[in-house]
Amino acid sequence: MTDGPLIVQSDKTLLLEVDHPAAAEARAAIAPFAELERAPEHVHTYRVTPLALWNARAAGHDAEQVVDALVRFSRYAVPQPLLVDVVDTMGRYGRLQLVKSPVHGLVLVSLDRAVLEEILRQKKIAPMLGTRLDDDTVVVHPSERGHLKQALLKVGWPAEDLAGYVDGEHHAITLDEKDWELRDYQRDAVTGFWAGGSGVVVLPCGAGKTLVGAAAMAEAQATTLILVTNTVAGRQWKRELVARTSLTEDEIGEYSGERKEIRPVTIATYQVMTRKTKGEYRHLDLFDSRDWGLIIYDEVHLLPAPVFRMTADLQSRRRLGLTATLVREDGREGDVFSLIGPKRYDAPWRDIEQQGWIAPADCVEVRVTLTDAERLGYATAEADERYKLAATARTKLPVVQAILDRHPGEPALIIGAYLDQLHELGKGLDCPVVEGSTRNKEREALFEAFRTGEIPRLVVSKVANFSIDLPEASVAVQVSGTFGSRQEEAQRLGRLLRPKGDHRQAHFYSVVSRDTLDTEYAAHRQRFLAEQGYAYRIMDADDILGPPVTDLGEA
């Protein structure tokens, strides 16, 4: 027995003692191959999953490194069956390889004949395969490249795709680094992506994922299709590309609900790509409208199902996924792995913070006690109404005001999911509300007024969760969320992490109703951030309120 911070259990769970002096080092060592499940105050629970091990393998980690990390940091002897399983699971990746044959085109090559025999007998896989050329090689229909990778992942034999990529239509793009330069981790991210050809780069919000995309475009020197969450995000991409590269405004097209421009670099929204006309996804034709050399998926953890389906047919194109978190609430991380590509680069948030590239953050959960009437209403409500009642309790309103009073003069965002609640806050705080129905022009004007300090506070719905650059924001107060969404929590904190000119700390408050689903969902949302090394302090609302303040509910 040693005094390590980790307890490794035979069910593949890892218990990390948070207060141990070596906890941070252990967390960094297990992060490439273990997923955080629970993060209470003192002991965090991780799980070693096949997908996490295969991602680690694709990123260049081998079984020896994983075993060494487990043994080195474990307090007790690591169960021998678990170590064997780690080696066996990682060994499954790459025993099947997709390669290009000069004669037969795309072929599946097996480094283990028994595995090929096994998958040839899979009813869902056999139709994707053509003629068997020899004991270890079978022809693959080119149109099935992505679907085959999906299917092989599901049966536990993830294929290594070595079939290469088409260059696409040439288009000159260079970085314009007169007044700036790529940071070391951004260069490493591009190098990792380009070496693999396709895959996902995971960086915290505010760490410059757009610049990673621009540098990848400069490597590709080809026409590029960029998919983004909304029109505002698309226009931010355009501004950055014009400012940071040789591209001009005329070379960049917007393909959205408002415009349909197809140019050498085209920025399209997920919404327009998935819009149906007479039951058909007509805009998916954009994928075939040019000989794209690179496709960039911004916020890849939000990729809609129809785009997944189209991506399955685009496996000969280089694909770059950008995200702050690979967590998908629909559980389709495996589809990201097989269709976009494995994780090629992942920088822990705290590492980037320590280098001074993102702001340090203080995370506080403020627990509010409901009034007797609110508690009774919650207790007697239908199950599907309870979270909304707890999340939108009017008792939260004066607490929000009190939190803002603690940070006079600091740019603040008040974030929520329910529009009635947000409009009530907007009225009480006398500040604008940005929601889904806010027109893009008005939305951009409000965001710009916030950036310049003309508007010190904004109430925002979940439209501000993604790809909105508001570097001045230093305080965020979250009043309600999308149930227990971990990705949403990460994105909301990300609104604050752009470095501040005066190096001040960011403050992220989550106001939750005690003894309700609101508290349970808050704990679930916080899991991803706990994995990144952020700890939530819990405060009672009475400690925030102090002397009586104006009740926003009466405003």
Q: Is the pLDDT of residue 220 over 50?
A: yes
510-520: string of b/e by CB count within 10 Å (b at 16+)? bbbbeebbbbe
For residues 131 and 114, give the distance between their C-alpha atoms in angstroms, rounded to a whole number.
18
For residue 158, count other CB atoms closer than 10 A to its CB: 26
Comparing CA positions, the residue from 170, 132, 134, 163 lying closest to residue 146 is 163
* 3-class secondary structure per residue, 162-227: CCCCCCCCECCCCECCCCCCCCHHHHHHHHHHHHHCCEEEECCCCCCHHHHHHHHHHHHCECEEEE
pLDDT (tens digit per residue) in 239-264 = 999 999 999 999 999 998 888 999 99
pLDDT at position 548 over 60: no
* CB distance 293 to 270 below 8 Å: no
Q: How far apart are CA 67 and CA 356, in angstroms?
A: 32
Tokens linked to 543? 């400690």
More confident residue, 24 or 92: 92
Give DSSP secondary structure letters for 492-549.
HHHTT-SPPTT-PPEEEEEEEETTSHHHHHHHHHTHHHHHTT--EEEEEHHHHH-S--
- The predicted pLDDT at position 441 comes to 86
Measured distance CA(28)–CA(421) in Å, rounded: 39
In this prediction, what percent of the chain has a pLDDT beyond 90?
51
d(CA 175, CA 181): 9
pLDDT value, residue 398: 93
- Report, as an integer, the average pLDDT of 200-218: 90
Write down the pLDDT at residue 528: 64
Instruction: Give the pLDDT of residue 167.
Output: 93
Q: How many CB atoms lie within 10 A of CB 99?
A: 15
Q: Which amino acid is at 518?
A: D
The mean-pLDDT minimum among 32-36, 62-66, 191-195, 501-505 falls in 501-505
Q: Please tell me the distance from the alpha carbon of residue 20 to that of residue 37, in angstroms, as a whole number.
A: 19
30 in helix, strand or coil?
helix
Indicate whether 485 pLDDT > 80: no
pLDDT of residue 501: 63
Task: Say what the pTM is.
Answer: 0.77
For residues 279-305, average pLDDT: 84
What is the rounded distance in angstroms from the CA atom of residue 230 to the CA atom of residue 235? 9
Give the pLDDT score at 554.
42
421 has a pLDDT exceeding 80: yes
CA–CA separation, 16 and 530 (whole Å):
12
- Contact (CB, 8 A) for 39 and 531: yes
Name every residue whose Cβ is closer than 8 Å to that of residue 105 and which is 6 or more positions away in sequence: 139, 142
pLDDT digits (tens, 9 = 90+) for 165-179: 999 999 999 999 888
Q: Provide the pLDDT for residue 62.
A: 92
CA distance 243 to 241: 5
Give the per-residue pLDDT at 438: 85
